[in-house]
Homo-oligomer: A and B are copies of this chain.
Amino acid sequence: MLKRAKVAIIMGSDSDLATMTEAIKILKDYGVKHEVKILSAHRSPDDTAKFSKNARKNGFSLIIAGAGGAAHLAGIVASHTTLPVIGVPMETKELKGIDSLLSTLQMPSGVPVATVAIGKTGAKNAAILALEILGITDKAIEKKLDILKKSLVESVRSKNRS
């Protein structure tokens, strides 16, 4: 039923792409359909609202949103959809992502954003969290995640041997 599951990866600016690529690569590797879009809560608010409102109708199962500074993107998308929204706080030049983190995480009750770590690690984990969510009902993804889990153990062990 989720075979056609599709994930949106959106970001506030093309400068976020270097970070968000980490998420894109993982979804590609796992063969999950996805679309990548630049959408700004502040510079293209109507496009963002329109995208968010139609996301479910357009076949998306969940949305990964990366933004920095007064990072409103994930929160604004969440205000327009009942799909789960995963927020990736970008590292920022001055405040190192503390601003992005608090702006993404401290959402009011009723409108959650699933926030992950700051920066590239967060982008990777956003993709894996998306897989875990899809894997609740998708056996194929569940199996691939089991393999990932084992490979994590194995990679630690092999480093130990060397």
Contacts and interface: CB of A to CB of B under 8 A. Distances in A.
10 contacts: A12-B108, A37-B160, A43-B155, A70-B103, A70-B107, A84-B136, A107-B117, A110-B124, A111-B152, A115-B115
A66 interface: no
Contacts of A94: 91, 96-97, 118-119
Interface of A: 1-2, 5, 12-14, 37-47, 49, 56, 61-62, 69-72, 75-76, 78-80, 82-84, 86, 91-99, 101-121, 124-126, 128-129, 132-137, 142, 145-146, 148-149, 152-153, 155-157, 159-160
A121 B43 contact: no
Contacts of A109: 120-121, 124-125, 128
